[in-house]
Structures are given as structure tokens and as C-alpha cells.
């Protein structure tokens, strides 16, 4: 498939190494518009490094990252965000000294480039829009609570509202369900899926929980030792011998591992 106008993000032969260790090697893939793409792989496969390069926290050694055809490799995270790439973190990061709604308002203020305003109180900026976003993630009740008091699952929802504040075209979600119980996990991913489908947002997410991946991802890519080893839909990945080899060293199936994961 050539670079079509349907591709939101394209990685071309991306590589990164740390002190001689290849964290990411020659990885290429693309994400279509509205696609829900999961990136999986064992620990140390290079997922986070990949994310951090797309998001601008790391500069690649070589290769290209194109966001809607525009090269973004080496740009600062904030510039990449302005191009419509939102991000949530593995360990949820919100502004702990602010209330829930202020967290969202902050993102909206930044989106409208009002960060350097010195006079009118921030509280009076975009309150309505912020409430709307919070309502969409089911957090409007908690709007005026300090964000540091929230339960972990709720923090994830707030992060999602923050990420949606700049009307992103692509969301990068690093283990969105890490640290959550099984029921909560599905709830959150369902919410994400609903929101992005409504808006036509593409999502690239990493996930350890295979039941979530196979239930929700439109497509799955698999990294191992820094290389992309598989790319396809759930069935194709399930049947891929190399993936099984990497994950289990044997012919065990994902169905088994998913049930173990749920118990853990």
C-alpha cells in the first residue's frame, strides 16, 4: 500500500539504539484514518521507545516519521501535539495540584495558544468545553475535585479528556489499562473506542492484556527485540508462528495466556 491520504501516521525504517543496544531496528508501519491499532510485544521489545520517538521525547537515529505526510522526527513533543497527536502515559500523568477540570482547561488553554496570558483567571477559560469533555469520559461529577484525590481508573479517564482537548487526529496510548482490574479495563477501552470512532481519531496503543487487544484492535503489530515481526488482524496474529515463538517459546496459545492474565 502506498502512502495514501488515509494514512495518519507512517513510520519508515525507524531505528534507535542506546549505547550500542538496538532498542528499535528498522521498524516501518502505518496507521490509517480511524484505525484502532495495537502494538504488542514482550517487555523490552521497543514499544515505549517507539512511542517516545513518535511523541517527540526521543529523536530517532535514522528513519522517518510522517504525520499526515509531514516529517515529525526530532520535533519537540509540544510541537507534535500541536500537529494533532495526543498522548496518554503508562503511569498516568496529570497536574496534581489542579482540580480535574483545571487539568482539562489547561490543555484547552494551550490548544488555543493562551498559555502566556497574564490577566484573566484561568478558571474562566473554556470551562464549558472542559465540562463537555469531562462529561464524555464520565467525569463531570468530579470536575472540581483535586485530581490527586482520584482513583487510578478515574485519572486515566481524565487523561483521556485531556488528550481529546486539542481535537487530535491520532492518540498514542501507552498501556492505557495498566494497573486496572479486568472489568475496569474493558470499560475504559470501550469508552476510548466509542469516542474515537465518533471523531474519526486514529489510535495507536500498547497493551499487555491480550484479551483487550484481541477484543478491540482493528489491527495488531508485534515487536520483538526491536523489530517488527508481524502485522495483521487478530486472527492472523493468533496464528502467526513467529509471534507464538517470541511470546511463549512454544506453541501455547493466546487464549490460555489471556485467562492467566485475568487471574493475575
Partner 1 sequence: MTLNAFLFQVLNGLSSASGLFLIAAGLSLIFGVTRIVNLAHGSLYMLGTYIAYTFATKIGGVTGFWGGIVATAIIVGIIGALIEIVLLRRIYRAPELFQLLATFALVLVINDAALWLWGPADLLGPRAPGFRGAVEILGRRLPTYDLFLIVIGPLVLLALHLTLTRTRFGRLIRAATQDREMVGALGVNQAVLFTSVFALGAALAGLGGALQIAREPANLATDLIALGDAFVVVVVGGMGSIPGAYLAAVIIAEVKALCVGIGVVDFGFFTINFSKFTLVAEFLVMAIVLIVRPYGLLGKAQGAVRSIAEPEEPIRPATPLLKALGIVVLAVLLCLPLLAQGSPYLLVLGIDVLIAVIFATSLHFIMGPGGMHSFGHAAYFGLGAYGAALLVKWLAFPMGVALIAAPLLALAGALLFGWFAVRLSGVYLAMLTLAFAQIVWAAVFQWEGFTGGSNGVIGVWPPPPFDKSWAYFLLTLVLAAAAVLLLRRFLFAPFGYAMRAGRDSPLRAEAVGIDVKRVHWLAFAIAGLVCGVAGGLFAFAKGSISPETIHINRSIDGLVMVLLGGVQTLTGPIVGASVFALLQDTVMRQTEYWRALMGAIILLLVLTFPQGIVGAFASLWRKMGGRI
Positions touching partner 1 (CB under 8 A) are 55, 57, 76-78, 81-82, 86-87, 89, 93-99, 102, 105-107, 109-111, 114-123, 125, 146, 148, 162, 165-166
Q: Is 231 exposed, middle or buried (0-12, 13-18, 19+ CB in 10 A)?
A: middle
Determine the Cα–Cα distance for residues 143 and 231; give it in Å rounded to an integer. Answer: 40
Measured from the CB of residue 106, what is the shortest distance to partner 1 in angstroms?
5
Q: Which is nearer to partner 1, 51 or 216 (CB)?
A: 51
Alpha helices in 181-264 (DSSP H): 182-199, 210-216, 234-239, 241-248, 254-263
Q: Which is nearer to partner 1, 117 or 252 (CB)?
A: 117
Measured from the CB of residue 116, what is the shortest distance to partner 1 in angstroms?
6
Instruction: Retrieve residue 88's grid coordinates.
Output: 496518554
Measured from the CB of residue 148, what is the shortest distance to partner 1 in angstroms?
5
Measured from the CB of residue 30, what is the shortest distance to partner 1 in angstroms?
22
Q: Which is nearer to partner 1, 4 or 115 (CB)?
A: 115
Measured from the CB of residue 77, what is the shortest distance to partner 1 in angstroms?
4
Coil/strand/helix, residue 212: helix
Q: Which is nearer to partner 1, 96 or 200 (CB)?
A: 96
Measured from the CB of residue 110, what is the shortest distance to partner 1 in angstroms?
4
Phi, psi of 143 (to 5 degrees): -50, -40
Instruction: Retrieve residue 114's grid coordinates.
Output: 493562551
Kindly give the interhelix angle for 100-111 and 152-164, rounded to the nearest 10 degrees.
20
Q: Which is nearer to partner 1, 39 or 54 (CB)?
A: 54
Q: Which segments within 68-217 are labelled E, that is strand?
A: 70-71, 85-88, 170-174, 202-206
Coil/strand/helix, residue 62: strand
Q: Which is nearer to partner 1, 79 or 245 (CB)?
A: 79
Q: Which residue has the cell 513518535?
A: 54
Amino acid at each position: 500500500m502506498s502512502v495514501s491520504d488515509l494514512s495518519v501516521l507512517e513510520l519508515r525504517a525507524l531505528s534507535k539504539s542506546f549505547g550500542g543496544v538496538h532498542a528499535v531496528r528498522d521498524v516501518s508501519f502505518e496507521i490509517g484514518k480511524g484505525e484502532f491499532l495495537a502494538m504488542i510485544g514482550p517487555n523490552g521489545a521497543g514499544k515505549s521507545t517507539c512511542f517516545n520517538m513518535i511523541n517527540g521525547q526521543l529523536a530517532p537515529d535514522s528513519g522517518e516519521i510522517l504525520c499526515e505526510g509531514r516529517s515529525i522526527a526530532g520535533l519537540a513533543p509540544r510541537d507534535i501535539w500541536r500537529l494533532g497527536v495526543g498522548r496518554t502515559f503508562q503511569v498516568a500523568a496529570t497536574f496534581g495540584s489542579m482540580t480535574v477540570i483545571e487539568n482539562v482547561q489547561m490543555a484547552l488553554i494551550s490548544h488555543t495558544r493562551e498559555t502566556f496570558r497574564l490577566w484573566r483567571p484561568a478558571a474562566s477559560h473554556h470551562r464549558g468545553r472542559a465540562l463537555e469533555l469531562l462529561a464524555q469520559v464520565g467525569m463531570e461529577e468530579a470536575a472540581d475535585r483535586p485530581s490527586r484525590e482520584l482513583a487510578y481508573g478515574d485519572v486515566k479517564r481524565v487523561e483521556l479528556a485531556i488528550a481529546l482537548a486539542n481535537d487530535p487526529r491520532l492518540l498514542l496510548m501507552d498501556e492505557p489499562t495498566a494497573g486496572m482490574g479486568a472489568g475496569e479495563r474493558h470499560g475504559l477501552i470501550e469508552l476510548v473506542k466509542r469516542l474515537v470512532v465518533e471523531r474519526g481519531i486514529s489510535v495507536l496503543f500498547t497493551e499487555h492484556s491480550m484479551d483487550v487487544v484481541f477484543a478491540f484492535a482493528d489491527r495488531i503489530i508485534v515487536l520483538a527485540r526491536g523489530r517488527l515481526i508481524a502485522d495483521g488482524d487478530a486472527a492472523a496474529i493468533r496464528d502467526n508462528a513467529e509471534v507464538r515463538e517470541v511470546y511463549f517459546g512454544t506453541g501455547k496459545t493466546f487464549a490460555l495466556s489471556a485467562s492467566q492474565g485475568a487471574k493475575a
